[in-house]
Amino acid sequence: MRLLAPLLLLCSAAFAEAPADRKVVLGLIDTCAQAPKVHEAEGFKPDGTVRAIFYDALPWNGKPTRVFAWIGLPAKRGGKVPGVVLIHGGGGTAFKEWVKKWNDQGFAAISIAVEGQTDVNENKVKGRSTWARHAFAGPARDGTFADTKLPLKEQWMYHALADTMLANSLLRALPEVDASKIGVMGISWGGVITSTVVGLDERFAFGIPTYGCGHLFDAENGWGKALHDNEGYQQVWDGMNYAERLKMPVLWLSWPQDAHFPLGCQAENYRKAPGPRMVSLVSKMGHSHPAGWNPPDSYAFAKSVVETGKPWGSSPSAKTESGTAIAVFHSTQPITRAVLVSTTDKGFTGTRKWIEAPAMAASGGGGTTTSAPLPPGTTAWYINAYADQLTLTSDYQEIK
């Protein structure tokens, strides 16, 4: 008992510190509420209405920092336009192309670089890019939350979240933008940031975490290995800590064979959030920045939210009954077909074999009820309902 007592006291102290740290993180919204000062990015040529900027961010190690970004407005505008903050994933940066894609959809957009880099590739060879860091760079990401032993305000995630909120404040201050209709989308690591920031910055009108999610300490791959005993991640940075605050509509966009983020972790995250949700698991989507921003699903979701206040579709229920998978869908767009996606494998979802089979669809009672017999030995399943090229997915189901 004497040997255990100091350890118990140490553990108790660590857990006691977590709420205080979360309070500091929750206070970021007040710290980042004002629009930051913007500086022109010299040496970066504008592309139509899209231009490169730096904006002031929070101090790091006692030094001022700035964030590199591409920002643009739709070429054709009639009154104020909606907006979106865009966050890259690992190996990425602020992408001008991504901004232009959202501009083409009628949205103002700002794509930010959250590791102190610009979009100048120092590597100049095919493969993984090496982006040049600028003179006012903040922290770069250190592995998989490997910096959680540092003081809170020196950790990368603290600054990544602040950079995102400041970008929101910047867009909100533009006279051409409707401040009540600004969303956030992140891909991969950007999705991890998004899954946390949507529970912190209630000013966002919608969120689109792509691939990335919370609850990763429980993942059956490298995420779980890295984060299973990482108290800093579990108690402070995991989006699950703030999910109950999440009231805005969120699209959880991914695919079944994603090699990084398990469907079970994603489901744990979205089930804890009380706000309206839509899930889209796009078959054969792939994992990359273009694979994340090319599907029409993110744009259709965002347009629906800013135009009507809610997603164009949802799946209020999914269940297994007498060996049959049953899912109900609500949609403002006609459902053209439905498919059961299931597996008999176990372990990490990204390495399982997923089989598609037709599902029956019947309209009535204000929705569409879909059903299909489950193959013997099914361990997990969901149903995709399709509205032309758009994918509407039921909640992911694990069979124990």
The reported pTM is 0.94
Kindly state the tokens that stand for 226: 């890295």
DSSP for 168-232, please give it. HHHHHT-TTEEEEEEEEEEETHHHHHHHHHTTT-TT-SEEEEES--S-GGG-SSHHHHHHTT-HH
- What are 207's two structure tokens? 């969120």
pLDDT digits (tens, 9 = 90+) for 25-47: 999 999 999 999 999 999 999 99
Q: List b or e across 284-310, with b for residues whose CB sees 16 or more CB atoms inside 10 angstroms.
A: ebebebebbbebebbbbbbebbbeeee
The reply to whether CATH 3.40.50.1820 applies to domain 4-311 is yes
Q: Where are the domains of the chain?
A: 4-311, 316-398
DSSP 8-state code for residue 47: B
DSSP code per residue over 22-37:
HHHHHTHHHHT-SPPP
Per-residue burial over 242-272, b if 16 or more Cβ lie within 10 Å, else e, is bbebbebbbbbbbbbbbebbbbbbbbbbbeb
User: Which CATH class name applies to 316-398?
Assistant: mainly beta
- Rg, C-alpha atoms of the chain: 21
pLDDT in tens, 103-138: 999 999 999 999 999 999 988 776 678 999 999 999
Per-residue pLDDT of the chain (400 residues; tens, 9 = 90+): 233 333 333 333 433 445 799 999 999 999 999 999 999 999 999 999 999 999 999 999 999 999 999 999 999 998 999 999 999 999 999 999 999 999 999 999 999 999 999 999 988 776 678 999 999 999 999 999 999 999 999 999 999 999 999 999 999 999 999 999 999 999 999 999 999 999 999 999 999 999 999 999 999 999 999 999 999 999 999 999 999 999 999 999 999 999 999 999 999 999 999 999 999 999 999 999 999 999 999 999 999 999 999 999 999 999 999 999 999 999 999 999 999 999 999 999 999 999 999 999 998 878 999 999 999 999 999 999 999 999 999 999 999 8
> Nearest Cα to 266, choosing from 398, 86, 112?
398
